Amino acid sequence: GMTEEEAREQEPIEVYSATFRAMQTGFAEREDRVMMKLIVSQATRVVLGCHIVADNAGEMIQLAAVAVKMGATKEDFDRTVAVHPTMTEELVTMKVPTRTA
C-alpha cells in the first residue's frame, strides 16, 4: 500500500495509529514497542496503506496486504472479529483517527 506521504499527495486521508507494548513482551518484562498505522481515504474509506513495526511484522502484514490489495475499507476492518490476545487485533480495533491530512 501507500505511505502516509504518498496518500496525502493524492487525496485527503485519515490516519489511524497505535503504539503499545505487546502482552507477550510485557509479561517477559521487555520494553519492546509495537507501532501500527492504517492510511484511509476520507472520500471512499478504502484502506490505502498499512504499516507495522514489531517483532514478526512480516507475519502480520501479509494478510493486511491482501485486504489492502482487495480494496477493503476501514469499515471492513472494523467488522472483522479481533483474535485476542494478539498484536494484530489492534488493526481492527482502532476506531478514532489520530490525524487527518
Q: Which amino acid is at 58?
A: G
Q: Which of 28, 84, 85, 96 is catalytic?
A: 84
| DSSP states of 8-72 | HHHS-EEEEEEEE--HHHHTTT----EEEEEEEETTT-BEEEEEEESTTHHHHHHHHHHHHHTT-
Which residue(s) pair with 73 in the sheet? 46
51 part of the active site: no
Beta strands 99-100 and 13-20 are: antiparallel
Catalytic residues, by residue number, are 84
